[in-house]
Structure 1
Amino acid sequence: MKCYPHLDGRSNIFFRIVLLVDSAPYCTSWQQLELYHIRPSDDLIRRVSFDNIHILEFLPALGDNPSCRCGPPITIRREHSDERFIDLEKYEASKLENNIGNRKGQALYISSFVRRLSLTEEGEYSAKDIRRAQKDVESIKENRKRSIKKQKMEIRCNKRLTKLKNIIPKERFEFSRPRKV
């Protein structure tokens, strides 16, 4: 399963999830073969092919992911907006025709302007909703920074306490326990 952000001609974003379906020939696990007393052959186990792909397209929704550097965070909606079944060979040919390979890194990046435009264009979200989501994300980022600083301080204190325990004899730390007579 792969998820790709796409832009149509009007700067609308939708997310395309590609699922490979209709596998043939049959592929199974070793345990299932042993259960039915079938002698496994290399052809039966190692050969898998796909005939069709199932494409689901999702519209964007206002998200809450704090990894967003600037602009509104986005996610996909729960319900898909479009669904198609396409022959795998036709899909791969159309990718070659349109010069679309497997996109990585910067090709998957969506600018903050395009994210904001796609969220407000259909009237789903107001500018106030977007600002609120951005403030929530900034708040989460600040909380994470504080907790990291606190964690680093605790680590330093624990290291110093361990050194101190190694320097001072153990008898001094045991003064709170009652002595056996």
Structure 2
Amino acid sequence: MKHELPFQGDWAPLGARLRTAESFHSPGEGPLSIVGTMIEKGTELPTKPSEKKRVRFHSVEVREYTQCLGDNPSCSVGPPISLDWNYHPHPESYALEDYEDHWRCKKGESGFRRSEENRIRLLLSLGYNYQDLLRADVEKTRDQLQRMSTAGMEITFKEVNDIFLNIRRKYLMKIQSEDDSEVIVSSAQA
């Protein structure tokens, strides 16, 4: 049975732009995605305002993205990692219960956090060098200091200078051992 939903034109508010349920799938497909909710094929849409709407999720599709050097200032120590725009073209599908059980265990083990050494190893394996890591760490720290200043926290020039010198020292020996011809000294000094 075909159910027409309200607000089918371009004039409708963004959240209300819905189409007919049949327009979202081809024969033989599973659940339908309509404005962020899942509706099972064959599910009757409520016709009376008093009827409660139910949403059921049966599976989860996971798209894997590559990781890259990030700029997130909430990373406390070392270079931050972000998701890149590139992704694996074939998402994997899991039963919802299996997916939740798997990630509940993973989250309990580590909380999805990576140590500074682990992030550095990962970024080096992705093709970044220590100069890239130094640059990202300096930019992240600069953003953190700007946030602290905006929040009204006072930091002395000596404290700021010590912070940047420590970051520079952390990477300087590694940069020299890579035989890089340029060392970014000016970017490490605020």
* Structure 1: stretches of 5+ with no match in the other structure: 1-18, 152-181
**Residue correspondence of structure 1 range 67-146 to structure 2 within 5 A:** 67-81=74-88, 83-88=90-95, 92-93=97-98, 96=101, 100-101=104-105, 103=107, 106-123=110-127, 125-146=128-149
**Given the two structures, how large is their TM-score scaled by the length of structure 1?**
0.52
Sequence identity percentage: 23
- Long gaps (5+) in structure 2: 1-32, 155-190
* Superposition TM-score, scaled by structure 2 size: 0.50
CA distance in structure 1 between the aligned counterparts of 2:76 and 2:149, rounded to whole angstroms: 18
- Superposed, which structure 2 residues align to 1:1-181 within 5 Å? 23-24=39-40, 26=43, 38-40=47-49, 42=51, 45-81=52-88, 83-88=90-95, 92-93=97-98, 96=101, 100-101=104-105, 103=107, 106-123=110-127, 125-149=128-152
**Alpha-carbon offset, residue 27 of structure 1:** 7.5
- Which structure has more RCO (C-alpha within 8 Å, separation ≥ 6)? 1
- Tell me which amino acid in the other structure corresponds to 1:141: Q
| Structure (1 or 2) with the greater strand fraction | 1
How many aligned positions are there?
119
- Secondary structure in 2 aligned to 1:149? coil
1:75 Cα deviation (Å)? 0.9
- Aligned-residue CA RMSD (Å): 3.5
Counterpart CA distance in 2 for 1:99 and 1:72 is 25
Rounded to whole Å, the distance in 2 between the matches of 1:141 and 1:23 is 43
Residues 107-159 of structure 1, C-alpha deviations (whole Å, 9 max, x = no match)? 22111111111111031x111001000011111122223333379xxxxxxxx
Distance 1:101 1:150, change over 3 A: closer
